[in-house]
């Protein structure tokens, strides 16, 4: 399956869920926002969200400052 993740083309084996993809890219415990094809996917929906070929995914981490 070919995906675009944060603007980078990636080839992913099998048919992972969105949560599986996030877990392979982001270390555990890091809070993120995820957008697929310009739609925000809530954290509660990621485990059941089946990715499709050519999906565009943006994984955004939060940064604090002060």
* Strand partners of residue 34: 41, 59
Pairing of strands 2-5, 56-61: parallel
In whole angstroms, how far apart are CA 16 and each of 1, 2, 64, 65?
A: 9, 12, 31, 34
CATH of segment(s) 2-61: 3.10.20.30
Question: For tokens 């996917």, what's the residue?
Answer: 41
User: With 70 as the cut, is the pLDDT of residue 66 above it?
Assistant: no
**What are the tens digits of pLDDT across the range 5-64?**
999 999 999 999 999 999 999 987 788 999 999 999 999 999 999 999 999 999 998 877
Percent of residues in the chain assigned helix, strand, coil, to nearest 5: 20, 35, 40
């Amino acid at each position: 399956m070919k995906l675009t993740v944060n603007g980078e083309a990636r080839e992913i084996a099998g048919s992972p869920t969105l949560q599986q993809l996030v877990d392979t890219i982001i270390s555990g415990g890091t809070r993120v926002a995820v957008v697929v094809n310009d739609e925000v996917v809530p954290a509660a929906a990621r485990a059941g969200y089946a990715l499709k070929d050519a999906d565009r995914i943006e994984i955004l981490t939060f940064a604090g400052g002060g």
